[in-house]
Structure 1
Amino acid sequence: MAPCERGGGYAERILIEPCSTDARTMHVKVARAWYVVGILTLIYAISFVDRFILALLAEPVGRELQLGDGQMGILLGAGFAIVYALAGLPAAQLIDQRERRKIVTLGVSLWSAGTVISAFADGFAMLATCRASVALGEAVLTPAAISLIADLFPAHKRALPMSVYASMSGLMTIGSFVIGGATLGIATSLEAQIGLSPWRGTLLIVGFPGLLLALLFFLTVREPLRSGGPATIEDTAFSAFLRYLSAKWRFYLPFYLGSALLVMYAYANLAWLPTLLVRAHGADPATAGYLIGLTLPAAMFGIFFFPWLSTRLDRAGEGTGIVKAFLIASIAGAPFLILAPLAGTTTTLLLGVSGGMICLATTGSLGPLAMQAFGPSRMRARLMALSLLCTSMLGFAIGPTAVGLLSTQWQGDPMSLGRGLSVLGMVAGPGAILCFALALRGTRQMLTANNAIG
């Protein structure tokens, strides 16, 4: 039987060699494709544990290594985000040119080894180096996963596997603290046997699964054949990309900035909330992880609610539903961002954080949808990379660092981190509202111009 010619994707070349309508053959093809999605999703999930585990351990790490809040803020924010952001575009270029299976394996191994080695850190410099290796390794995963999934499924069947993969962003942003809290409890019980303080044991435990998954991925996943025709020079030229951004800046500039402001607060909140619970509300680090996990349903609700809302808003056919949903989320969320960190009781704090999480979840769900809806097909990857660059540099890098520095204005006050988060919320909330209002106006102008050309 002759080999399949259509599509040239993974399903045709690797999963099933001959053309066949046999149900069993098709089942094997789909099963193997979903296996790759499953293992990528699992790797994505553990990447969040490695990324956020230091936030849960900030108090004992800072105490043992004699690090101030400013130094911890750098480790939780800029020390990770700058490397992650700057590595993203070169990593994406490499992923487009080389074998993705090997690049993913190398990336997962690098960040997992960095987490394991950080268990033996003796000061700020060594811990910063380990955090940089975690950032460098994690920078390859999502670009590679998006590329692989696109070649595993035809275009009309990619939505579900991409949704499964992307859902880990909302689930594990909070779920990582639950897993981290449980792991810290295990490490505490094993302190006498392994001879390491609980925070060091925790880093060892959470780092090793990534090394095993990297090996499993390398041994069981085969590189799919890339689909799609070759791009023209005009499509891929960076000068054409810059001309496009220049022509559409009234939408992209405020949209990117608004997204970055929300991410800035979201990461600052996640980075410092465990320590705030410990200092101001009397929780131990393990309990803080479980308490943060209680806000997970709110985040998951936001991830699915606002895309649904955007489609409802678009029923009139205007095409601005995504930006309107962002604007509504910013208006609804601003009071929570400002007031929740100042709550006097743990219950009130968690309720306020949950309200904020519903609105902050828009960045993970609506952001990629906006790039798909408004960006030309040959520029969507670069538009998404630029979005990640902005949110990483402005959001992840500045947010935790700013709160750590702001908290020094209230030295000795158990609520110092809460006050710092509140001040940041006074910037992020109203700033995002203004940005998305401007982006909405820019969207209407862009769509009007596109319709006129059409």
Structure 2
Amino acid sequence: MSEITGNPAVMPEVEEKANSRRKTMLVLLLLIYTSNFVDRSILATLGQAIKIDLQISDAQLGLLQGLAFALFYTALGIPLARLSERVNRVTLISVCLTVWSAMTALCGAAQNFFQLFLARVGVGIGEAGCTPPAHSLISDMYGAKQRATALAVYSIGIPLGVMIGAVSGGWLTENFNWRVAMVVVGLPGVLLALIFQLVAREPVRGSADQSVAAAKEAPPSIGETARHLFGNKAFFHITIGATLVGFVGYGTGTFAQVFFIRMFDLGYAELGLAFGLIGGVSAGIGTVLGGVLSDWSGKRHLSWYALLPAIGLLIATPAYIFAFTRDSWMFAVWCMLIPGLFHYAYIGPTLGVMHNLATPRMRATATALFFVVVNLVGLGIGPYFTGLVIDFATQAQFSGLGFGDFISSCPGGIAPQDATGALREACHDASAIGTRNGIVMVLLIFIWAAAHYFIAARHMGWSKKNIA
């Protein structure tokens, strides 16, 4: 009998070793996701330098940050997710990490908009194979009552990556140039891929749900997975809400640091350090608290998995607008502490609901389907749309100052060297104020997103058994 149940003196050691392996895997996945977002978001820090160097518009800058990345990221997300349901997920992530890191470094060699666009497409191709298998791995290591917290820890890679990208990218751009910054932030990912391949181990599918037998069955089809997820009214509205949050977050995030450079004439290193540390810390804390609080409150009523993000977004909206309309850059950056705490609280509960709803064999595909919607609209269109709004607001401001076409009069957003003092001032003021006004207008979409989370909360109260 002792051979079946195990030696009681040995069992704690076995459990401790298993916990250690889980923590090691989670830390490695967090580092990979951090690399993911450093390479994905680095253009937000380098944007102004790239715009001046390549003489492009804000709409084109938005395309580089958004559609160039999101187009193939979403297109390949589902095929790679389906592949990860069948193959070793650790190896798949390692290969994809190598690809996107190398392509990020290659961005530094681009000589025009088209070349940089193609390199960003390559980054998106590689990163398509990261999150679906990573979410699947985490869900096989952590049970339903810990899953939102574990996914929130993994998702700290978002603010952490943005922070590292802002600090390192700003310093490298100011002391060298934006091309060097691309190479330096890209290449370490190749080493991380090798470490992950050597250290990480593939867990048994479905083990955290005690459904190993079911996990050995053939994965459900894409259509079956989509109907299972989006046929649930609560998750349908959560997806819309998360998509709108991504639309605003990626859109305004692309131009947030650009705004501070244009409005306050800050150096890249100074801004990167201040913006990255303050924004990154608050977003990281908000991400973790969102997962922990939703798991805690969700034990009492599942609607809190949707109510918590809704309330957070309603607080974040006016807090962001207040920060972007300050006259002091230092005060404005410090004000970013508050909205970051509440904005990113949506990540943990949103992902927790998705993976608690999905079965073990559909989790990678479920993640890919979810991010196809969120990233194609949020990341693919959000930065471009925000860039168009800023271009429109800038032109309106420029015309109001008595000048003509902004793009032709101010190539790259700045006046030509032989321009008059009046034109120089007009280019600067129109660019700064137009960027601020465009960002404020787009931020209001957060309220629309919050409404869908509130609707989802109502449905979660009615269909509790279908969510957890």
TM-score bracket, normalised by the shorter chain, equals 0.7 to 0.9
For residues 285-337 of structure 1, the C-alpha deviation after alignment (integer angstroms, 9 at most, x for no partner) is 2222112122233223322333454456556x442111111221122122134
Bigger Cα displacement from structure 2, 116-125 vs 435-444 = 435-444
- For residues 150 and 236 of structure 2, what CA distance do their matches in structure 1 show? 30
Decide whether the 8 Å contact of 1:338 with 1:422 is kept in 2.
Answer: yes
Question: What is the one-letter code of the residue matched to 2:194?
Answer: L
Q: What 5-or-longer segments of structure 2 have no aligned partner?
A: 396-426
- For residues 149 and 328 of structure 1, what CA distance do their matches in structure 2 show? 27
Decide whether the 8 Å contact of 1:169 with 1:364 is kept in 2.
Answer: no
Deviation at 1:165, TM superposition (A): 2.8
Match of 2:443 in 1: 425
Counterpart among 341, 344, 349 of residue 361 in structure 1: 344
Deviation at 1:71, TM superposition (A): 0.8
Decide whether the 8 Å contact of 1:263 with 1:360 is kept in 2.
Answer: no
- Counting only pairs closer than 5 Å after superposition, residues 40-439 of structure 1 correspond to structure 2 as 40-149=29-138, 162=151, 164-185=153-174, 188=175, 191=176, 198-221=177-200, 223=202, 226=205, 228-231=212-215, 236-245=220-229, 247-249=231-233, 251-293=234-276, 294-310=278-294, 313-314=297-298, 317-375=300-358, 380-409=363-392, 410-411=394-395, 412=427, 413=430, 414-426=432-444, 428-439=445-456
- For residues 420 and 248 of structure 1, what CA distance do their matches in structure 2 show? 35
Decide whether the 8 Å contact of 1:275 with 1:285 is kept in 2.
Answer: no
Question: What is the one-letter code of the residue matched to 1:229?
Answer: A
Counterpart among 433, 446, 451 of residue 463 in structure 2: 446
Calculate percent identity across the aligned residue pairs: 26
**TM-score, scaled to structure 2:** 0.79
Bigger Cα displacement from structure 2, 168-177 vs 233-242 = 233-242
Decide whether the 8 Å contact of 1:45 with 1:168 is kept in 2.
Answer: yes
Deviation at 1:26, TM superposition (A): 7.2
Residue-pair matches, total:
424
Deviation at 1:199, TM superposition (A): 0.9
Question: What is the one-letter code of the residue matched to 1:131?
Answer: R
Decide whether the 8 Å contact of 2:275 with 2:333 is kept in 1.
Answer: yes
Q: Quick one: structure 1 residues 403 and 92, their matched pair in 2 at CA, closer, same or farther if it must change by over 3 Å?
A: same
Match of 1:195 in 2: none
For residues 2-26 of structure 1, the C-alpha deviation after alignment (integer angstroms, 9 at most, x for no partner) is xx999xxxxxxxxxxxx99398887
**TM-score, scaled to structure 1:** 0.82
Q: Quick one: structure 1 residues 37 and 383, their matched pair in 2 at CA, closer, same or farther if it must change by over 3 Å?
A: closer
Deviation at 1:255, TM superposition (A): 1.6
Q: Quick one: structure 1 residues 5 and 119, their matched pair in 2 at CA, closer, same or farther if it must change by over 3 Å?
A: farther
Decide whether the 8 Å contact of 1:337 with 1:429 is kept in 2.
Answer: no
- For residues 99 and 309 of structure 1, what CA distance do their matches in structure 2 show? 33
Decide whether the 8 Å contact of 2:66 with 2:383 is kept in 1.
Answer: yes
Match of 1:11 in 2: none
- For residues 386 and 79 of structure 1, what CA distance do their matches in structure 2 show? 19
- For residues 146 and 295 of structure 2, what CA distance do their matches in structure 1 show? 19
- For residues 136 and 441 of structure 2, what CA distance do their matches in structure 1 show? 39
Q: Quick one: structure 1 residues 387 and 343, their matched pair in 2 at CA, closer, same or farther if it must change by over 3 Å?
A: farther
- For residues 45 and 64 of structure 1, what CA distance do their matches in structure 2 show? 27
- For residues 230 and 148 of structure 2, what CA distance do their matches in structure 1 show? 30
Q: Quick one: structure 1 residues 118 and 381, their matched pair in 2 at CA, closer, same or farther if it must change by over 3 Å?
A: closer
Decide whether the 8 Å contact of 1:49 with 1:180 is kept in 2.
Answer: no
Bigger Cα displacement from structure 2, 85-94 vs 169-178 = 169-178
Match of 2:420 in 1: none
Question: What is the one-letter code of the residue matched to 2:454?
Answer: A
For residues 383-407 of structure 1, the C-alpha deviation after alignment (integer angstroms, 9 at most, x for no partner) is 4333222221121122211121111
- For residues 144 and 357 of structure 2, what CA distance do their matches in structure 1 show? 18
- For residues 4 and 262 of structure 2, what CA distance do their matches in structure 1 show? 63
- For residues 147 and 242 of structure 2, what CA distance do their matches in structure 1 show? 25
Deviation at 1:110, TM superposition (A): 0.8
Question: What is the one-letter code of the residue matched to 1:290?
Answer: L
Q: Quick one: structure 1 residues 22 and 50, their matched pair in 2 at CA, closer, same or farther if it must change by over 3 Å?
A: same
Deviation at 1:439, TM superposition (A): 1.9
Deviation at 1:424, TM superposition (A): 0.6
After superposition, the CA RMSD in angstroms is: 3.4
Q: What 5-or-longer segments of structure 1 have no aligned partner?
A: 7-18, 192-197
Decide whether the 8 Å contact of 1:108 with 1:211 is kept in 2.
Answer: yes
Question: What is the one-letter code of the residue matched to 1:105?
Answer: S
Deviation at 1:202, TM superposition (A): 1.1
